[in-house]
Amino acid sequence: MPTTVLARLREHIEPMDRGSRYEDPVDAVLRERGLGQVTGGGSQLSESGELEYADIELELANLDDALSLVIDSLERAGAPAGSEILGDGGLIREFGTLQSVAVYLDGVSLPDDVYAGLDFDETIRTLTEAGGESSYHGYWQGSQETGLFFFHTDAETLFDRLEPVLRSLPIGQNARVVIRPRFDSPQIRTVRMPRHQPPAT
């Protein structure tokens, strides 16, 4: 009998991006092998409106044969460490290899000219170039911060690449940076970027 499971991805990812990054590839490989299909998806919001995780519902013709295929497909697409396959009885298996650095840009307290001169797309391009190809996974717009989400096999290495760029960018001032090896890691730490010093008079 077919088995229904959830793949829970521990990252902020919008529904359209979830479809193109994860759902479409895993659905294609399952259908190609005759092992199942994607049947739905959803997201859980935090109190701030940021997505805490995304779920993909999967109907698998044979759990033993399909599970490794699903996990391999999701990990190749960039699944974060601490993601889970869940069944009726709870956790079936953890998966995911990538660690995250979330950059929360200050949207309210910087000088007006910083916001007036901001090229958001160029900021993302510059940070992605520093973080590495495919490191950028998306953004979240809050009332006081804008979150940019980057991934790498090692969060500290990724932060080392992003930090000097953030320090140099006007919009990087006062950014709150969360370095997260996995969603529930005790090694999660937060770094606040400094404000630029005004020129001496």
Q: Could you report the per-residue pLDDT of 109-144, keeping only the tens digit for each?
A: 999 999 999 999 999 999 999 999 999 999 999 999
Q: Are 41 and 6 in contact (CB under 8 A)?
A: no
Q: Are 95 and 73 in contact (CB under 8 A)?
A: no
How does residue 199 score in pLDDT terms, banded at 50, 70 and 90? low
* Chain mean position to CA 195: 26
The string over 180-193, giving b where at least 16 C-beta atoms fall within 10 Å of a residue's C-beta and e elsewhere, is bbbbeeeeeeeeeb
Mean pLDDT score across all residues of the chain: 94
Residue 108 forms part of a structural domain? yes
* 105 shares its domain with 71: no
Residue 39 forms part of a structural domain? yes
Cα(171)–Cα(117) distance, integer angstroms: 9
Cα(100)–Cα(158) distance, integer angstroms: 8
* 110 shares its domain with 149: yes
**Residues above pLDDT 90, as percent of the chain:** 82
* 89 shares its domain with 108: no
* 41 shares its domain with 24: yes
* 90 shares its domain with 159: no
Q: Residue 156 phi/psi, 5° resolution?
A: -70, -40
Number of neighbours of residue 143 by Cβ within 10 angstroms: 8
CATH number for position 35: 3.30.70
Cα(72)–Cα(186) distance, integer angstroms: 26
Q: Are 127 and 136 in contact (CB under 8 A)?
A: yes
What's the pTM value of the predicted model, to 2 decimals? 0.90
Residue at a domain's end among 43, 63, 95: 95
User: Domain containing 65: what range?
Assistant: 3-95
Residue at a domain's end among 37, 64, 95: 95
Six-digit token string for 166: 């953030």
Per-residue CA distances from 23 to 3, 64, 104, 162 (Å): 17, 20, 27, 29
Residue 113 forms part of a structural domain? yes
The pLDDT value recorded for residue 71 is 97
Domain count, the chain: 2
Per-residue CA distances from 89 to 80, 92, 94, 96, 117 (Å): 23, 8, 14, 21, 52
Residue 170 forms part of a structural domain? yes
Residue 106 carries which side chain, given as an amino acid letter?
Answer: D
Cα(80)–Cα(89) distance, integer angstroms: 23
Helix (H) or strand (E) holding 142: none
- Over residues 152-166, mean pLDDT: 97
